[in-house]
Amino acid sequence: MSAYVTILPYLFLGLLGMTLGHDIKGSTHCEFYNSTRCIENEEGCSGREECAPSEPDKRNHCFVLWKYDSALKESKIVLKGCFLDSKECYDKPHCVEKSADRKQQMFFCCCDGNMCNQNYTWDPQPTEPPPPVKEIEPVPNPDQQVITLLITIAIPALFVMVGLPLMFWCYRRRKLGYFNEVPTLEPLPLPQPSPNLGLRPIQLLEIKARGRFGAVWKAQFKNDVIAVKVFPMQDKQSWQTEQEIFKLAHMDHEDILHYIGVEKRGDNLQAEFWLITAYHEKGSLCDYLKANVVSWPEMCRIAESMARGLMHLHEEIPANKADGYKPAVAHRDFKSKNVLIKADMSACIADFGLALIFQPGRPCGDTHGQVGTRRYMAPEVLEGAINFTRDSFLRIDMYACGLVLWELASRCTIQDGPIGEYRLPFEEEVGLHPTLEDMQESVVHKKERPFILETWRKHPGLFAFCDTMEECWDHDAEARLSASCVMERVATLSRSLVLNSSTLIRVDNTESITTKESSM
């Protein structure tokens, strides 16, 4: 069996760590790249990776997996990263593929040394046929001829009785067990918009979004329009995490995306994993704000329902007669892309591929805190200084919540002055594609936050809204507001709004808001 096949299990372990977004600590550094994350410039698809500490008698290496496009006559990188101990990689300062025989134009090389996989080459070595062996004709012997005849008859019979069943058993075990765990090494083609036969008669209609873990389709199921998130094989763990979150007790909540079910489509390396949920035509809050402005009542409705959904996610709910116990859950990738806008302009929270469940009396079970989208990472995440406790992870979500509130405020029509084009948080400070170092410099060292215009503070309600977002993104994690506090504040602001002849005034330095009827 070729060396390419033998490295697959090890490559799978490395790929799994990269897929989950783990920042693995160690002494060896490799260049990291994952082509499936780079669709539409998704953040976190390339950079520098620290390998896990190896055992005393083993080494860490770097690898490159690429394919050759014969039509375009060019090589395309599929994966780069850390690689577990293999003697094939020992003492190789350069990443060179020497085999001339590669199936489907896939090539693999590994090397020894920090960042040795920045460059790679293919240098096929010709294989020389072995020298012919000069055969010596034996002298015929009658006894040996009888024995040879018996062996000639007995061995095939024994193979039919024992060997074939054994081979069939091994084949089925390998097909059903091993290959279901090996990820595809090429990005899987997206399914065509045609009916699919399976547990449900679902027709995929059009792609609505692409994320780091898969594509989201608008789909038809009988008379209902639904959403189907399609995960390729290498992101199976995220699919499993999402359904684990959705299946928790008390998760059927109006401010959490409604879960319908999951399905596995296809077999072996071509398997896809479907997450089936409710469909919301308005899309994500990020996409909605790019194309629309929001009124004061709409902003309050979105912010209140979003905070209520986050509060429900963070909340620990005891078991009752109808439902079991719900543990606290941290989202860990909270951002406007993962907040969906419903038809009534309320919000619901989606995308739990990185979420973490906190079972009482058990450790977090997660040793890699630097996950999520860089732009929304809290200072302690960027520094790698997280306390691995439940409250620490919930406060990280609240930092990101403050940034999303800023996005909302930036597109609200109540502000005194012109409304600018939609911008992501920190877009002016670090641009559209910041590196981890860019975010560390801006958020940790300079302690920068998205700019709040003075015109926002001229409206008393928006003034209080700005205070709330600033308390969410406080540099001191313990000083940040909880989701329940944000929800209560926004609800108070929303109730205080009188649509006709009232004016909101701020009565003191707290968030208390009252109304004063005009004399008209």
* Same-domain pairing of 237 and 316: no
Q: What is the mean pLDDT of the chain?
A: 79
CB distance 236 to 273 below 8 Å: yes
Exposed/middle/buried for residue 211 (C-beta within 10 Å: 0-12, 13-18, 19+): buried
* Same-domain pairing of 309 and 203: no
User: What three-state secondary structure class fits 422?
Assistant: coil
Q: Choose the weakest-confidence range: 4-13, 153-162, 272-281, 339-348.
A: 4-13
- The secondary element (H helix, E strand) that includes residue 491 is helix 483-496
* Same-domain pairing of 240 and 328: no
CB distance 51 to 30 below 8 Å: yes
* Same-domain pairing of 265 and 289: no
Q: Choose the weakest-confidence range: 32-46, 63-77, 90-104, 218-232.
A: 32-46
CB distance 206 to 193 below 8 Å: yes
Whose tokens are 């009565």? That residue is 507
- Packed helices 8-19 and 236-246: angle between N→C axes, nearest 10 degrees: 50
Q: How confident is the model over 114-130, as a mean pLDDT?
A: 79
* Same-domain pairing of 303 and 270: no
- Most confident option among 96-100, 157-161, 321-325: 321-325
Question: Within a domain: residue 318?
Answer: yes
CB distance 339 to 404 below 8 Å: yes
Q: Which positions ≥6 away from 516 have C-beta within 8 Å?
A: 502, 503, 505
Among 208, 191, 333, residue whose Cα is nearest residue 273: 191
d(CA 64, CA 109): 6
* Same-domain pairing of 247 and 305: no
* Same-domain pairing of 350 and 229: no
Q: Which positions ≥6 away from 203 have C-beta within 8 Å?
A: 193, 194, 195, 196, 219, 220, 221
Total structural domains within the chain: 3
- The secondary element (H helix, E strand) that includes residue 261 is strand 259-265
* Same-domain pairing of 222 and 317: no
Question: What backbone phi and psi angles, to 5 degrees, belong to 155?
Answer: -65, -45
Among the candidates 217, 251, 278, a domain finishes at 278
Catalytic residue among 101, 123, 235, 333: 333
* Same-domain pairing of 320 and 241: no
Among the candidates 278, 306, 341, a domain finishes at 278
Residues 39, 42, 45, 46: what is their CA dihedral angle, to the nearest 10 degrees?
Answer: 110
Predicted pLDDT of residue 146 = 54
> Which CA distances in Å does 295 have to 345, 401, 412, 462, 470?
11, 20, 6, 11, 21
Question: Within a domain: residue 39?
Answer: yes
pLDDT band with cut points at 50, 70 and 90 for residue 316: very high
Question: Within a domain: residue 129?
Answer: no
Domain limits at 13? 3-122
Residue 57 has pLDDT above 70, yes or no: yes
pLDDT band with cut points at 50, 70 and 90 for residue 384: confident
- Most confident option among 123-137, 149-163, 347-361, 474-488: 474-488
Known catalytic residue at 333: yes
Residue 393 has pLDDT above 60, yes or no: yes
- Most confident option among 59-63, 201-205, 270-274, 313-317: 313-317
Predicted pLDDT of residue 104 = 53
* Same-domain pairing of 33 and 113: yes
Residue 366 has pLDDT above 60, yes or no: no
What amino acid occupies position 110? C
Give the residue with greater pLDDT, 154 vs 98.
Answer: 98
pLDDT band with cut points at 50, 70 and 90 for residue 15: very low
Q: How confident is the model over 396-403, as a mean pLDDT?
A: 98
Predicted pLDDT of residue 404 = 98
CA angle 24, 27, 29 (to 5 degrees): 70
Predicted pLDDT of residue 152 = 60
Question: Within a domain: residue 153?
Answer: no
- State the CATH number of the domain containing residue 477: 1.10.510.10
pLDDT band with cut points at 50, 70 and 90 for residue 182: very low
CB distance 285 to 404 below 8 Å: yes
User: What three-state secondary structure class fits 142?
Assistant: helix
Q: How confident is the model over 344-356, as a mean pLDDT?
A: 95
CB distance 292 to 301 below 8 Å: no
Predicted pLDDT of residue 357 = 93
Q: Choose the weakest-confidence range: 41-45, 73-77, 427-431.
A: 41-45
Q: How confident is the model over 315-342, as a mean pLDDT?
A: 94
User: What three-state secondary structure class fits 93?
Assistant: coil
Q: How confident is the model over 100-126, as a mean pLDDT?
A: 80
Among 421, 507, 424, 423, residue whose Cα is nearest residue 461: 507
Question: Within a domain: residue 186?
Answer: no
* Alpha-carbon 325 to chain mean position: 27
Residue 197 has pLDDT above 50, yes or no: no
User: What three-state secondary structure class fits 169?
Assistant: helix
Residue 66 has pLDDT above 90, yes or no: no
What amino acid occupies position 46? S
Among the candidates 259, 278, 297, a domain finishes at 278
Give the residue with greater pLDDT, 130 vs 108.
Answer: 108
Instruction: Mark out the alpha helices in 315-439 (DSSP H runs).
Output: 379-383, 390-410, 427-430, 436-439
Whose tokens are 């075990």? That residue is 173
Predicted pLDDT of residue 130 = 55
Question: Within a domain: residue 323?
Answer: yes
d(CA 191, CA 198): 14
pLDDT 10s digits, 414-468: 988 889 999 999 999 999 999 999 999 999 999 999 999 998 988 888 999 999 9
- State the CATH number of the domain containing residue 252: 3.30.200.20
CA angle 240, 211, 81 (to 5 degrees): 80
* Same-domain pairing of 324 and 451: yes
pLDDT 10s digits, 136-147: 455 555 556 555
Among 29, 12, 128, 108, residue whose Cα is nearest residue 66: 108
Q: For residue 341, what are its two tokens?
A: 């806008």
CB distance 289 to 391 below 8 Å: no
Question: Within a domain: residue 146?
Answer: no
* Same-domain pairing of 273 and 309: no
Residue 187 has pLDDT above 90, yes or no: no
Predicted pLDDT of residue 266 = 85
Q: Which positions ≥6 away from 91 have C-beta within 8 Å?
A: 112
Predicted pLDDT of residue 379 = 96
Question: Within a domain: residue 361?
Answer: yes
